[in-house]
Amino acid sequence: MKSLGIADYNGMYSAIRFYQMAQEEEINPIIGVEL
């Protein structure tokens, strides 16, 4: 299983685009945020 993570600071500004692009490449997206 391929996975890739991303973490944003103070919001989830890039989460939607990251999720969509990961799904297109059959990669399991892992999303994190620090508030």
Q: Where are the domains of the chain?
A: 3-34
CA distance 16 to 8: 12
Measured from the Cβ of residue 18, the count of other Cβ atoms closer than 10 Å reads 19
What pLDDT does 25 receive?
Answer: 95
What pLDDT does 35 receive?
Answer: 87
What pLDDT does 7 receive?
Answer: 95
Q: Which residues of the chain have pLDDT under 50?
A: none
What pLDDT does 27 receive?
Answer: 97
